Amino acid sequence: MQVYTEQKKVGKQSVLMGKKVAILAAATVAGPKESLGPLSNFFDRHYEDTILAEKSFERAECRMLEEACYLALGKAGLSPEDMDYYLGGDLLNQVISSTFCARSLAIPYLGIFGACSTLAEGLSLGTMLIQGGFAKYILVATSSHNCSAERQYRYPTEYGFQKPGYSQWTVTGAGAVVLGPAGGKGPRIEAITTGKVVDAGEKDPYALGSAMAPAAADTIYNHFVELKRNPAHYDLILSGDLGGVGKKLNEDILAGKGFDITPYYTDCGVLIYYPHQKVNAGGSGCACIALVFLGYYYQKMLAQELKRVLLVATGALHSPTTFMQRESIPAIAHALSIET
């Protein structure tokens, strides 16, 4: 196993990676609402219902995750046996979608939890493990499901609970990535900025955009300062699931700190649905950034239409218990600079 030595820690949170690790392949599986959205054509597999003829929403989510993993492996021309580690996490209690997926894959498994920042956490750790000489290929995957997540975090969707305008719609879907040594066309991981937990005091479990925006702004700010970059360094700055409310807040916080990101910036939660799909402030969930980045922008990078992307996945790290105990919502964001 090759050990790379180009990595260089810069400042407190960032590491320059030297572009030795690439996203070799990526695959996406989309639920019904996502399959009717503007990016539908870019997803690998579509489902017209949320249950997939399974016995529960949890089983349906796990199946989507498994399918995304096997699709990504197939695109990379590799099998589960070729993977040194599987890094996975999701929103469900005890990250069960990932665990049950790991059971069928039988790859050495490291469970992670960063809520909707999970994809970026997995890509960060996976890149470091390959570059450190501990692995050649790593599978990173995540999923979310509207019905399993809403039931767990708020109310079962069957109740038809009316949500406030700043709420977001948990995306149903899954995404998987095969990381490996750079060499071919796959976009490369150029730098990683790992987030600190930021808590701005938001207590409303529907207001996740405003809970997560300060964490996104903190990580993006530190990324720019530590690596001496500005927003124009990137063709695209893409946050995970801040939605309309959080996106604006993120822009405003960074503008107040001297960085105008608006010309380069968009958010997956804003892009994944049409306005007429009635999702209030936009999409959310681990699968939001997985579908939009892996389904759409990753393909644009492969086609050389985008060269430098700053991927910023955000996560709200609360639970229904902490909400009921009147705690505020801690949030986190991890950023990866990805280049072709």
Q: Which residues bind a copy of itself (CB under 8 A)?
A: 1, 3-5, 7-9, 12-13, 15, 55-56, 58-59, 81, 84-85, 89, 92-96, 99-100, 102-103, 106-115, 121, 124-125, 128-129, 131-135, 152, 194-199, 317-322, 325, 327, 330, 332
The least CB distance from residue 273 to a copy of itself, in Å, is 25
Minimum distance, C-beta of residue 4 to a copy of itself, in the bound complex (Å)? 8
- Rounded to a whole number of angstroms, the minimum distance from the CB of residue 252 to a copy of itself is 23
Quick one: 221 exposed, middle or buried, by C-beta within 10 A (0-12, 13-18, 19+)? middle
Q: What residue type is 67 in one-letter code? A: E
Nearest distance from residue 294's CB to a copy of itself, in Å? 21
Task: Map 114-172 to HEC letters.
Answer: CHHHHHHHHHHHHHHHHHCCCCCCEEEEEEECHHHHHHHHCCCHHHCCCCCCCCCEECC
Q: Residue 132 or 258: which CB sits closer to a copy of itself?
A: 132
Q: Which residues pair with 313 in a beta bridge?
A: 334
Nearer to a copy of itself, 22 or 272 (CB): 22
Measured from the CB of residue 128, what is the shortest distance to a copy of itself in angstroms? Answer: 5
Which of residues 266 and 328 has its CB atom nearest to a copy of itself in the complex?
328
Question: 100 or 259: whose CB is closer to a copy of itself?
Answer: 100
CB of 155 to a copy of itself, least distance (A): 16
Rounded Cα distance, 241 and 7, in Å: 29
| 133 vs 184, beta carbon nearer a copy of itself | 133
Spatial CA neighbour of 186 closest among 301, 292, 294: 301
The string of DSSP codes covering 225-276 is HHTT--GGG-SEEEESS-HHHHHHHHHHHHHHTT---GGGEEEHHHHSS-GG
With contact defined as beta carbons under 8 Å apart, do 309 and 301 qualify? yes
* Comparison of 5 and 304: residue with beta carbon closer to a copy of itself: 5
